[in-house]
Amino acid sequence: MSGRNAVNDLTKDFTPARRARVDARKADLRAAMPLHELRQARAMTQRAIGAALNVNQPAVAKLERRADMYVSNLRAYIEAMGGKLKIVAEFPQGDVTITDLADPNTDQPTADLRNPGDSTSPHTTTP
């Protein structure tokens, strides 16, 4: 025997309380993850995302590493995976969904994968 066990074999003896804790932790992990992990969890490649966005694979890799990006870029990335972007502000009094961001079906520019501070970006102004 190789010492490997199926996950079901390892968890079959879990008590209901332990199984509930594991399920809760799995839900937490699924609820928050970096973009590259989300893409991998959706079984998609950077090349596939790039094809949907009309950019090359290195541009997708760069997008996934960014700490700051346009909402339109993030929206395009999420939609390329079949999702819908929802932005929620969390306050002690409760959460608020932000609704006044540009709709992707308007004539607003979409996937401009340059950095927001990039002087070549069409979203920056030149004095």
CATH number, residue 50: 1.10.260
30 in a structural domain: no
Domains contained in the chain, number:
1
Amino acid identity, position 43:
A
**Residue 55 located in a structural domain:** yes
Q: Which of 2-11, 32-41, 86-95, 103-112 has the lowest mean pLDDT?
A: 103-112
Task: Write out the two tokens for 6.
Answer: 């199926």
Kindly state the average pLDDT of the residues 10-38: 83
Q: Report whether 107 contacts 72 (CB < 8 A).
A: no
Model confidence pLDDT, tens digit, residues 45-67: 999 999 999 999 999 999 999 98
Query: Which structural domain, as residue segments, surrounds residue 60?
Result: 35-104
Residue 74 lies in a domain: yes
Q: Find the helix or strand (DSSP H, E) in which 2 lies.
A: none
Residue 97: beta bridge partners? 88
- Residue 118 scores a pLDDT above 70: no
* 86 within a domain of the structure (yes/no): yes
The mean pLDDT value for 35-53 works out to: 94
Average pLDDT, the chain: 79
118 by DSSP, 3-state: which? coil
**25, part of any domain:** no
- Please indicate whether residue 8 or residue 122 has the higher confidence score (pLDDT): 8
Does residue 28 lie within any of the structural domains?
A: no
Distance CA(42)–CA(82), nearest Å, equals 9
98 within a domain of the structure (yes/no): yes
Query: Which residue type is seen at 106?
Result: T
What is the model's pLDDT at position 62?
96
The answer to whether residue 83 is domain-embedded is: yes
Q: So what's the pLDDT on residue 126?
A: 37
